[in-house]
Copies of this chain bind each other. A is one copy, B any other.
Amino acid sequence: MSLEAKNLIGYQAVAGKGAGIQAVDPATDERLAPVYHEVSDADFDRALDLAQTAFLQYRELSDAARAQFLDSIAAEIEADSEAIIQRAMQETALPHARLQGECARTCNQLRLFAAVVRQGAYRDIRRDEAMPQRQPPRPDIRYRKIGLGPVAVFGASNFPLAFSVAGGDTASALAAGCPVVVKAHNAHPGTSEYVGRAVQRAAQRCGMPEGVFALLYGEGNRIGEKLVGHPHIKAVGFTGSRAGGLALLKLAQARPEPIPVYAEMSSINPVYLMPDALATQAEALGRALVAAMTMGAGQFCTSPGVVFAAAGAGFDAFTAAARAALAVQTAQTMLTPAIARAFEQGIQNLAAHAQLLAAGEASGGIHSCRARLFVVEGDVFAGNEALRQEVFGSAAVIVCCRDFAQMQMLTEQLEGQLTAAVHATADDDVGQLKSLLSQLERKAGRIVFNGFGTGVEVCGAMVHGGPFPATSDSRSTSVGATAIDRFLRPVCYQDVPADILPEAF
C-alpha cells in the first residue's frame, strides 16, 4: 500500500489544497515523499459536520458494536504493521524493535478499551428507587454517563503510534462514544496516514456512521486552532510540549462554550535515593539511572530529570558508576531537528547552574542526543528555577541533599509531575518513606518504588497524569482504563417510563 498524502474525511481520502507538509528523516535531513497539503476550509467544515452527525448515531450504538470497532482497528493496524513501522522508522529515527513494541502496545490499548466498553462499568449506572409513600414522595432516579461529543486529538512526536492517530486519546474517546478528529502530527505524516487508513477501514467494515473518525493535515497551528475553536468539538486530547498544551488550553477556554483540554505536557520525574539504598546499591543505582535516562534518547515524558540523593555513604560510588555508565552511551538521533536543538539549549541552561558530571559519547551524526548528567548541591538547586525545568532528552541533575528534611523541602518546590520514583531498602526508615509517599501523592500521578517511571503499563489501575503542569487536568489519566472518564458526563433520568429509558438500564 502506498501513501496518497490525503486527508481522511468520512470514508473518503481528500487531497489538501493549502501549504505543503513534508516529513524529514532526522538521521539524514532527507525530505520524505509524499508532500501532504493542508485541508481546505470547506473540507475542514465537512469533516466537523460529519463528526457531529456521526456522534448522534455513534453514541447510540450498543457497547458491543463500539467494542467490535475498537478491536477491528487493532486488527487493521496489525495487518499493516510492517509498513507502519518502516515508515515510522524513517520519520522518527526510532529503532525497529521499539516501534514494534509500541505498535503492539497501541493494539493492546485499543483492545483494553474494547474490553472496558464490553464490561460496561464505565457508565457508572446508579439508581435510587421511587419511594411513593415518603413525604414528599421520592421519584425514581437513574444515573449513567454518556459521551461528551466529538473530540479533537493532537498526537505526540515521541510516540508516533501509542500517543498519536490511534493512540490512547483516540481509543478512549471512541470507547466513550465520541467521534474523533485527529490533527496529524507534522513530524510523522506518513505514519499518521497508514494508521488513519486502518481506522477508516475498520469504521467502514464495522458499519460505523461516516464521520466517526477524521484525519486532517495542516501546516503550522492554523488547523489545530480552528479545530479547538470549532463549536462541534467538545473536548481536546493533547500530548506534547508545555507551550503547545497551554496554547490549546487558552483557545479552549476563550470559546463561547469552554471545553475540557486534557494536555499532557511537562514533567521532570524526580527520583529519590534513600540512605540505605544508596549505601548498599550505589553502583547498581548509578547504572540503572543511566539506563532509564538514555532509553529512547530520553524522549519520554516519564524520563528521570532530577535525582535527589542523600549526601553520605554511597553518594560518590553512585556518581562514579553513573559517570562510567554514561561515558559509553552512544548518541542517538532525536525525533526532529527542532527537538535536538531544544535539547542542546536545555543543556546550556542546566550547565549555567550545575556542574557537568558526565557526558555520553559524542556522535558524528546529525540531530543526535549526547546524554548529560549534572550534579549540584541542594542549596543551589533550591535557588535556581532553571534546574527544575524539563529538558526533553537524556539529561538529568543529581541533587546532593544535606539530609531528608532538605530532600522534602526541595520536593515541595517542584511543580506537578507525572511520576516520582523512590529507591529504598527494607532498612530505610519507614517513617521517612511514609512521609515522602504522602508528599509525593500531592505532587505526582504515579509513585514507583525501586524502579523508574519510564515504562507505562496499559492496565486498569494505571495513572498517567498528575498535577499541573504534568497535565492540564489533574483529575484525569491519559493511559489506563479510566482514561475513558475524560470523555464522559453524567445524566440522570427522573421517572422516565421503562419503554422510553435507554437500553443501558
Question: A495's contact among B142, B451, B502, by CB below 8 Å, is which?
Answer: B451
- A142 contacts across to B, CB distance below 8 A: 461
Query: Which stretch (A74-82, A192-200, A486-494) binds chain B?
Result: A486-494
- A461 contacts across to B, CB distance below 8 A: 126-128, 141-143, 492
Q: Is the CB of A462 within 8 A of B492?
A: yes
Q: Is the CB of B128 within 8 A of A448?
A: no
User: Within residues 458 to 481 of chain A, which ones have a CB less than 8 A from any CB in chain B?
Assistant: 459-463, 465, 467-469, 472-477, 480-481
Cβ of A260 < 8 Å from any Cβ of B? yes
Cβ of A203 < 8 Å from any Cβ of B? no
Q: Is the CB of A496 within 8 A of B449?
A: yes
Q: Is the CB of B489 within 8 A of A474?
A: yes
Q: Is the CB of B459 within 8 A of A138?
A: yes
Given known contacts A462-B141, A489-B475, A447 and B494 CB-to-CB distance under 8 angstroms: yes
Give the complex CA separation of A449 and B489 in angstroms. 20
Cβ of A427 < 8 Å from any Cβ of B? no
Q: Which interface residue of A149, A462, A488 has the most chain B CB atoms within 10 A? A: A462
Cβ of A206 < 8 Å from any Cβ of B? no
Band of interface residues on A: 35 or more
Q: Is the CB of A490 within 8 A of B477?
A: yes
Q: Which interface residue of A433, A465, A491 has the most chain B CB atoms within 10 A? A: A491
Give the complex CA separation of A474 and B493 in angstroms. 16
Q: Is the CB of A143 within 8 A of B462?
A: yes
How far, in Å, is A70 (CB) from chain B's closest CB?
A: 20
Cβ of A455 < 8 Å from any Cβ of B? yes
Give the complex CA separation of A488 and B491 in angstroms. 20
Cβ of A60 < 8 Å from any Cβ of B? yes
Cβ of A221 < 8 Å from any Cβ of B? no
Q: Is the CB of B446 within 8 A of A494?
A: yes
Q: Is the CB of B492 within 8 A of A463?
A: yes
Given known contacts A451-B494, A491-B463, A499 and B430 CB-to-CB distance under 8 angstroms: yes
How far, in Å, is A428 (CB) from chain B's closest CB?
A: 10
Q: Is the CB of A495 within 8 A of B463?
A: no
- A211 contacts across to B, CB distance below 8 A: none
Cβ of A438 < 8 Å from any Cβ of B? yes
- A491 contacts across to B, CB distance below 8 A: 441, 444-447, 463
- A434 contacts across to B, CB distance below 8 A: 500
- A477 contacts across to B, CB distance below 8 A: 490
- A444 contacts across to B, CB distance below 8 A: 491
Q: Is the CB of A447 within 8 A of B492?
A: yes
Question: A438's contact among B60, B416, B497, by CB below 8 Å, is which?
Answer: B60
Contact with B along A266-290 (1 / 0, CB 8 A): 0000000000000000000000000
Given known contacts A139-B451, A430-B500, A475-B488, A128 and B249 CB-to-CB distance under 8 angstroms: no
How far, in Å, is A337 (CB) from chain B's closest CB?
A: 31
Give the complex CA separation of A249 and B81 in angstroms. 45
Q: Is the CB of A500 within 8 A of B437?
A: yes
How far, in Å, is A251 (CB) from chain B's closest CB?
A: 12
Q: Is the CB of B468 within 8 A of A136?
A: no
How far, in Å, is A436 (CB) from chain B's closest CB?
A: 9
Cβ of A482 < 8 Å from any Cβ of B? yes
Given known contacts A143-B461, A461-B128, A495 and B450 CB-to-CB distance under 8 angstroms: yes
Cβ of A12 < 8 Å from any Cβ of B? no
User: Can you list 29 A-B contacts (CB < 8 A)?
Assistant: A60-B438, A124-B482, A126-B481, A128-B457, A128-B462, A136-B455, A138-B459, A141-B461, A143-B460, A143-B482, A257-B415, A260-B473, A260-B475, A426-B497, A430-B500, A437-B500, A446-B493, A447-B493, A448-B495, A449-B494, A449-B496, A449-B497, A451-B495, A461-B492, A463-B492, A465-B490, A475-B488, A475-B489, A475-B490
Q: Which 9 A-B pairs have the closest CB atoms?
A: A143-B461, A463-B492, A126-B461, A448-B494, A128-B459, A141-B461, A474-B489, A128-B461, A257-B468
Beyond the given pairs A258-B472, A441-B491, 10 more chain A to chain B contacts, judged by CB atoms under 8 angstroms and listed by A's residue number, are A56-B438, A126-B482, A128-B460, A139-B451, A141-B459, A260-B473, A260-B475, A437-B500, A449-B495, A482-B490
